[in-house]
Amino acid sequence: MTTKEERSSTDAGGGSTFAEVQQSEEFQGLKRTLRRFVFPATVLFLAWYVLYILLSAYARDFMATKLLGNINVAYVLGLSQFVSTFVIAYVYSKYADKHFDPTADRIRHRLEGTTAAPATTTSKRTRS
C-alpha cells in the first residue's frame, strides 16, 4: 500500500483549510444540528434510566403495585426502558438521515473534490 498518513494539517482539500471550514456558517449549522439532538436526548435517556434505578432501589412498594395479573409497575417501567431505547434510536436515525447527512455529505464531497454519491467513494484513495 502506498497510502501514507502525511499531509498538511491545515489543508482540508477543495482549496480551503480546516479552520476555514470549521468557521463557516454551513459547518457551524451542521454542528448545531447534531448537538441539538444528541445532547438533550442523552440527558433524557440517562435521567429516565437513573430514575428507573432509583425507583427500583427506593420506591419498592410503588414498583410492586400490580397492574395486569402478575405484571407490576416494575415490569412495565422496565419494558418501557426497552421501548424508549428503540424509539430514541429510531428517531435519531431518521433525524440524522434527514437533517444531518445531506449537509455532512455536501461538505465532505466539496473537501474531497468528489461530487459523486457516497456509495461510490469507497475505493482506495491515495493522499498526497
Partner 1 sequence: MSPLAVAAETVDGGQRALTISLFVIFVLATLVITIRASRNNATAADFYSGGRSLTGPQNGVAIGGDYMSAASFLGIAGIIALSGYDGFLYSIGFLVAWLVALLLVAELLRNSGKYTMADVLAFRMKQRPVRVAAGISTIAVSIFYLLAQMVGAGALVTLLLVVTSDTAKNITIVAVGVLMIFYVTVGGMKGTTWVQIIKAVLLMTGTTLVTILVMIKFGGSVSALLGEAADKSGKGDAFLNPGLRYGTDAQGLAGKLDLLSLGIALVLGTAGLPHILTRFYTVPDAKAARKSVLWAIGIIGSFYLMTICLGFGAAALVGPDAIRAQNPAGNTAAPQLAEAIGQDFFGDVGGTVLLAIIAAVAFATILAVVAGLTLASSSSFAHDIYASVIKRGEATEKQEVRVARIAAFAIGGVSIILSIYAQKLNVAFLVALAFAVAASGNLPAILYSLFWKRFNTQGAVAAIYGGLGSALLLVIFSPVVSGKPAGADGKSTSLVTNPDVDFSWFPLENPGLVSIPLGFFCGWLGTVLSKEYNAEKYAEMEVRSLTGAGSEKAVSH
Binding residues for partner 1, rule: CB under 8 A, are: 1, 9-10, 12-13, 17-19, 21-22, 27, 30-31, 34, 37-38, 41-42, 45-46, 49-50, 52-54, 56-58, 60, 63-64, 68-72, 74-75, 78, 81-82, 85-86, 88-90, 92-93, 96, 101, 104-105, 107-108, 111-112, 118, 121-125
Q: Nearer Cβ to partner 1, position 15 or 46?
A: 46
Helices 101-112 & 25-58 angle (0-180, nearest 10): 140
CB of 49 to partner 1, least distance (A): 5
CB of 74 to partner 1, least distance (A): 6
CB neighbours of residue 61 within 10 Å: 7
CB of 25 to partner 1, least distance (A): 14
Cell (9 digits) for 44: 433524557
CB of 21 to partner 1, least distance (A): 5
Question: If we measure between CA atoms, which residue out of 20, 3, 33 comes closest to residue 111?
Answer: 20
In sign, the C-alpha dihedral spanning 72, 73, 74, 80 is positive
Q: Alpha carbon 38 to chain centroid distance?
A: 6
Query: DSSP secondary-structure letter at 121?
Result: G
